[in-house]
Amino acid sequence: MTIIEIVFWLLLVDSFVANVIAWTELRKYFNSFKLFRRFFPITRGWVGWYFVLVLLIGYAVYLN
């Protein structure tokens, strides 16, 4: 496994967790990180695009 593949898998896990938080509206996240949430809002549209972009990166990585 190369470093690029490791980075891809880390991004994939991160985007999956972000999607779970955005789509299930975990109250623990929304109540615990109020200052962080102000500067980095988790919205369904942005995390959806994040997931799509990570999948495109993965496609490009494993295409070679």
pLDDT at residue 29, as a whole number: 66
pLDDT tops 70 at residue 30: no
Name the more confident of 31 and 48. Answer: 48
- Domain extent for 12: 3-63
* Across 50-64, average pLDDT: 91
pLDDT tops 70 at residue 15: yes
Instruction: Give the chain's mean pLDDT.
Output: 85
Of the candidates 20, 25, 13, the one whose C-alpha atom is nearest the C-alpha of residue 54 is 13
pLDDT tops 90 at residue 3: yes
Contact 46, 15 (CB under 8 A): no
pTM of the model: 0.76
**Per the structure block, which two tokens stand in for 14?**
């991160």
Number of domains making up the chain? 1
